[in-house]
Amino acid sequence: MVRTQPTLSVVRYADDFLVIHLNKEIIEKAKKVVEKFLCQIGLYIKPSKTQTVHSTAGFDFLGVNIKHYKTGKYRSAKRTNGKPTGYVVLKLRRI
């Protein structure tokens, strides 16, 4: 089976979570589904803490700045400060 659309990814820690996808429209649809679900259980998403951003701009999650870095023929898999990109994942797992 060939997958035509990338899957939706969710990263969660306690009451904080990220929804990750290449298509902004799918992110907006997911946000509506999450808002509806949370409403049913008496919770809500706080608008001041909610944002839709592209990963190349970077964003803070759980005190860690997460940013998408290109890799390829002439780029390494290291961030500009020399730490490997896997560091962010390890940092999140230790919290």
CA end-to-end distance (rounded Å), the chain = 37
One domain, residues 1 and 43:
yes
CA 36 to CA 9: how far, in whole Å? Answer: 19
Q: Based on the domain organization, do 44 and 60 belong to the same domain?
A: no
Average pLDDT over residues 24-48: 87
Within this chain, do residues 22 and 45 fall inside the same structural domain, yes or no? yes
User: Is 1's pLDDT higher than 70?
Assistant: no
pLDDT band at 3 (very low <50, low <70, confident <90, very high): low
Task: Examine the domain organization and report whether 40 and 69 are in the same domain.
Answer: no
Same domain, 67 and 83: yes
Q: Give the pTM.
A: 0.61
Q: pLDDT (tens digit, 9 = 90+) per residue, 57-86?
A: 777 888 888 777 776 666 555 555 555 545
Q: Based on the structure, what is the number of domains in the chain?
A: 2
- Domain limits for position 19: 1-50
pLDDT of 73? 66
Tell whether 3 and 44 lie within a shared domain. yes
Q: Is 28 in the same domain as 60? A: no
Whole-angstrom CA distances from 91 to 30, 31, 75, 82, 87 are 26, 26, 23, 15, 6
